[in-house]
Structure 1
Amino acid sequence: MNTDFKLPKKNLYIILISCAVIISASAIETMIIVKDIDLYNQWIAQIKDINAMDIDSMDLLNTYISLNLIQFLTKIIIPMALGIYSYFTFYYSKINRLFIFIWTVLVVGGFAYTFLDFRTASIFYYISILGHKVLIYGIISISSKIESN
């Protein structure tokens, strides 16, 4: 019995669209966070002993932007890799249960990372959460198609 299975086109589209939604929502949210002066001032207020250190305000701004861009990268690396991997798998290879298991674990981890961010004032936070849920559904639904094959 062959356990390899061709990725269905419907599931490929679900995966790619969900990944695009997650990446777009995270990108827009990051742009808003980086450009909002009030959030920057709140971040500065949270830093302890800022007055005791001799730090240039431009260095603080660069640090703030860098931290937000690193957080953005960690949010999108899993959906980006899954989208690229799924696209090439659809055209050049086949999948099996290991594909489903590994990507489900990674996407659930990305979902937990995004969920624990708790940016509940942002609509893009909820869009990203919804995108992760659809992505998890899209990956797990492949399992039932493998069972029926």
Structure 2
Amino acid sequence: MPTVTMNINGRQMSANVENRTLLVAALREDLNLTGTHVGCDTSQCGACLVHVNGKAVKSCTMLAVEADGADVDTIEGQANADGSLNVIQQAFQDHHGLQCGFCTPGMVMSAAALLKENPKPTEAEIRNHLEGNICRCTGYQGIVNAIMAASGQSVAMAAE
């Protein structure tokens, strides 16, 4: 089995994986980074979203061997250095952008990718960006409000 080495959340990590092992499985099962969730295995829900070399990737669609040598950021790396919630995570908590929490890691990672690319997105841009993430609990308004707040914009700008 090949050894895959990645720089995950700023730390070099390695795992022996089969060639067919998905990145999400390597993260969860081989590297014990269980914050990335498996929701559908078909790239529909976005629960497995991580950043690979700065790009948002659904890790259920990428082989672990394809990430060899890559910089990978997961939900575990989103907290501040002192362990407190980062701006996006805190906004999700403050604006009820989560309910059961299953989709939340993918939503936070998706929001981080959006805000990196577009620091002040409109509500329509947020909703468009989240099309690849499914939430079965919240109805999305809390998620949109959270992303608006994390971007430093007034939540009142988002339609209720």
Q: Same fold (TM over 0.5)?
A: no
* TM-score, normalising length: structure 1: 0.26
Give the number of the structure with larger relative contact order, counting CA–CA contacts within 8 Å between residues 6 or more apart: 1
Larger % of helix: which?
1
- Rg (Cα) greater in structure: 1
